[in-house]
Chains A and B, each alone.
Chain A
Amino acid sequence: MFENRYRLRPAPPFRVPVGGGVLIVVVDSATPAVTAALASVDDTGVELLAASVTVDARAHGELLAPAVTSVLAKGGATPKDLDAVVAGLGPGPFTGLRVGLVTAAALADSLNIPAYGVCSLDALGWAAGPGRVLVATDARRKEIYWAVYEDGVRLTDPAVGKPADVLLSYGAGPLSAGADPRPEPHAARLLDGTRAAVGDGAHRYADILGLPVLDEPRYPPAAGFAALAADRVRDRMPTEPLTPLYLRRPDAVLPGERKPALR
């Protein structure tokens, strides 16, 4: 199960680093947006130096590596200048998600620099603004990946389900220490305060979710990943295994009885 291994903070203002900042590359392929970015992290903040976002659900494998090359070039950096890799862990459609994670893992391994994972929904939640917000991305099969955030901080575990069931599921996630374990009051409390929904899943199922949908952020923003990993980058924390948040088991059917070949 997913563990919240780091504390989330509301979006800090971006500042131009005074110098001595370290360079990170961000990659995320958990949604139809194929995202790569070059950012500088120093003690005062995070600066996005170059970003590439292309929305194409079917070409993650083609688009991501050239996007990384392109943001490096735009930022005047070479791969050897990088100090860390930050990757979106999903949840997201598996095949596309793996492109980002294996790219990040290969970059970090090749350059012998640490890799840090950030839940892709968290990048949306970070950018969704103040108050309580439902973050939803498209999980295909008429389902969404979702979580609830308050002031950019995630309140529930990332989950996958039908949009109509999200409201029921609200009660199941851990709200906070000492939360009321009974589903209904818990769900009611979350629902009461939710002011809006964000993400492409929210757009797609706006009518079912019944929440106002914000135009932006629609896809996990590169700045969110950089900001949410910044502490680990600054503290030079050990590299992390980039374990994808699949949230679904593989489709696989055990073979049944042998079908007769004779009639």
Chain B
Amino acid sequence: MTDQPTARDEPLVLGIETSCDETGIGIVRGHTLLADAIASSVDEHARFGGVVPEVASRAHLEAVVPTMHRALADAGVALSDVDAIAVTAGPGLAGALLVGVAAAKGYALAAEKPIYGVNHLAAHVAVDTLEHGALPEPAIALLVSGGHSSLLLVEDLARKVTPLGSTIDDAAGEAFDKVARLLGLPFPGGPPIDRAARAGDPSAIPFPRGLSAARDLAAHRYDFSFSGLKTAVARWVEARERAGEPVPVENVAASFQEAVCDVLTAKAVDACRAHGVGTLVIGGGVAANSRIRTLAEERCAKHGITVRVPRPKLCTDNGAMVAALGSHLVAAGVTPSKLDLPADSAMPLTTVNV
């Protein structure tokens, strides 16, 4: 093993993620992805139209050990080989987080490994290092999922992350789920809307761009709002139905998606320019949307900003992202968490690790 890189340069870290409905266990060595095992309870939530916290927590408990076995087998390592265990400590669903945090503690104390309780959103940023290598700092991160919509200034991924803005009502992914339901498309709504939108005209219906008017920008320059957009889509669809006219699903999907992606990318580019930052990282489940990638690249290219978007499987919740952040923290010499670390469903964005 003499030619192996030292642990300090490329730490071998196992990451556990249970903040929502995916039980994810990933293993990375430095920036190299070795395993990304996932068990999802999404099918159990579909008929409820959203994630049911208790159903998710029960599924996590059942899935943790089998998912751990798959991850270790995929990576070809033993738990005794890892340098540290990282776990999402927040933000997320309290009961769901707690299953992962308690599991991580059990494994860490039994295997006598250091534990890092990390921020889910910082992990969404860190996962990009597995795809594109070390993150240039500072960077702007746009994190969009079913639970979060945030713009962050990342000056030091291990120590200094500053929130610039976030949604003041629904998360972007939530709007996708609600509009999908309105259009009779399945849950989760992101992928079917993306597919339907490909055959539609994004300029067919002028849906509103939340918090983009001059008066809103003064107070909410980097904040988002998707609740009004969702209602506007509902009203438009209902008016059609009442008039006895068919609903052009493709056009509604494309126009709604365009409204979301327009605001997200416009504000992300604005944040980059205002802070003189040359790198935009996009993460979270909504980053898997094809339109947001294209639009971000188009707009960033005009201003000389590099866009980094990990492949879709790494954008949605997974354990590899937690491992990636853990590995970064170990390499940066950050002190591990204590064994009494709490799960914090409302963990502030400024907290990278606890």
Is A63 touching B340 in the complex (CB atoms < 8 A)? yes
Given A102-B61, A102-B64, A255-B48, A107–B99 Cβ distance below 8 Å?
no
Looking at chain B's contact residues, is the secondary structure mostly helix, strand, loop, or mixed? helix
Is B182 touching A258 in the complex (CB atoms < 8 A)? yes
A4 within 8 A of B: no
Give the shortest distance, in Å, between B57 (CB) and chain A (any CB).
6
Query: How far, in whole Å, are A61 and B57 apart by their CA atoms in the complex?
Result: 14
Q: Return the CB mask of B99-143 against A: 1 if under 8 Å, else 0.
A: 101111111111110000000000000000000000000000000
B64: A residues at CB distance < 8 A = 102, 105-106
A30 within 8 A of B: no
B234 within 8 A of A: yes
Complex interface: stretch among B235-243, B264-272, B298-306, B319-327: B235-243
Is B339 touching A66 in the complex (CB atoms < 8 A)? yes
B165 within 8 A of A: no
Is A94 touching B95 in the complex (CB atoms < 8 A)? yes
Number of interface residues of A (CB under 8 A): 38
Query: How far, in whole Å, are A59 and B47 apart by their CA atoms in the complex?
Result: 33
Query: How far, in whole Å, are A107 and B112 apart by their CA atoms in the complex?
Result: 11
Query: How far, in whole Å, are A222 and B104 apart by their CA atoms in the complex?
Result: 23
A129 within 8 A of B: no
Is A65 touching B109 in the complex (CB atoms < 8 A)? yes
A209: B residues at CB distance < 8 A = none
* CB < 8 Å neighbour of A103 from B58, B102, B111: B102
* CB < 8 Å neighbour of B106 from A105, A250, A251, A262: A105
Contact count band on B: 35 or more
A254: B residues at CB distance < 8 A = 47-48
A110: B residues at CB distance < 8 A = 79, 106-107, 110-111
Specify the chain B residue showing the minimal Cβ separation from A96: B98
Using a CB-CB cutoff of 8 Å, which residues 176-194 of chain B contact chain A? 181-182
Is B52 touching A252 in the complex (CB atoms < 8 A)? yes
A244 within 8 A of B: yes
Is A98 touching B106 in the complex (CB atoms < 8 A)? no
A194 within 8 A of B: no
Using a CB-CB cutoff of 8 Å, which residues 37-69 of chain A contact chain B? 59-66, 68-69
Query: How far, in whole Å, are A251 and B55 apart by their CA atoms in the complex?
Result: 9
Is B234 touching A261 in the complex (CB atoms < 8 A)? yes
Query: How far, in whole Å, are A251 and B48 apart by their CA atoms in the complex?
Result: 11
User: What are the 5 A-B residue pairs with the smallest beta carbon separation, nearest first?
Assistant: A106-B106, A261-B234, A110-B110, A250-B54, A65-B105
